[in-house]
Chains A and B, each alone.
Chain A
Amino acid sequence: AQTVTQSQPEMSVQEAETVTLSCTYDTSENNYYLFWYKQPPSRQMILVIRQEAYKQQNATENRFSVNFQKAAKSFSLKISDSQLGDTAMYFCAFMKPYGGKLIFGQGTELSVKP
């Protein structure tokens, strides 16, 4: 069975600085998808970024980028130029290509301080 682990329950960063959130996963699959979701205090689940395992290039979405290390089964999220609106819970998630089901990590609560 697949598992996803986020080892940092809480993190904080100063506004405008860069922060990296860690995620590791365990799977025997060779092809899969990885996601980062943001959950602000409103509890809305917002897709931040997605990575296909068969792509070596790291995904980037504006200030958000990932460091995908397939051999190490690591999928970290880097937030550059942190903004107050980035304050939220961040979840790492795994999906098999044809399973349609997400497996989530425990979450990392990020606070951006002015």
Chain B
Amino acid sequence: DAGITQSPRHKVTETGTPVTLRCHQTENHRYMYWYRQDPGHGLRLIHYSYGVKDTDKGEVSDGYSVSRSKTEDFLLTLESATSSQTSVYFCAISESAGVGNTIYFGEGSWLTVV
């Protein structure tokens, strides 16, 4: 198993509060990703990073920000949580974005916004 740790694994928060999810990897992989999973939508990319301090938006980035100050950590922040952000969030990593690339997933973080 790839060394990916997500924290917290479960969180309940109130609407309007800030929330930060952390993804920590021990593989020294360059690429890191945040996805959300909702019924009927599969997994959708929120943001991704291709190196320290290098990040870009995915298809559902509104309401989210990310930061990557170290290779091993990728943080996802909900500045002001809304009920529509209730979801399961997955972190993923990959060594490269090229030929032969394989993406490995963390175990998920369940976020409920009430």
Chain A residues in contact with chain B, CB under 8 A?
4, 6, 33, 42-45, 47, 50, 91, 95, 97-107
Contact = CB atoms under 8 A, between A and B. Distances in A.
Interface string B84-114: 0000101010101111011111011000000
B33 interface: yes
Interface residues of B, number: 27
Nearest to B40: A106
B79 to A, nearest CB: 23
A91 B43 contact: yes
Interface of B: 31, 33, 35, 40-45, 48, 50, 58, 88, 90, 92, 94, 96-99, 101-105, 107-108
Nearest to A100: B97
Which secondary structure characterizes the binding site on chain A?
A: loop
B88 A43 contact: yes
> Residue among B44, B48, B58, B97 with the most chain A CB within 10 A?
B97
A104 B41 CA distance: 8
Contacts of A106: 40-42
A95 B101 contact: yes
> Residue among A43, A91, A95 with the most chain B CB within 10 A?
A43
Contacts of B107: 42-44
Given A104-B43, A105-B42, 7 more contacts: A44-B107, A45-B90, A45-B105, A99-B97, A100-B50, A102-B103, A106-B42
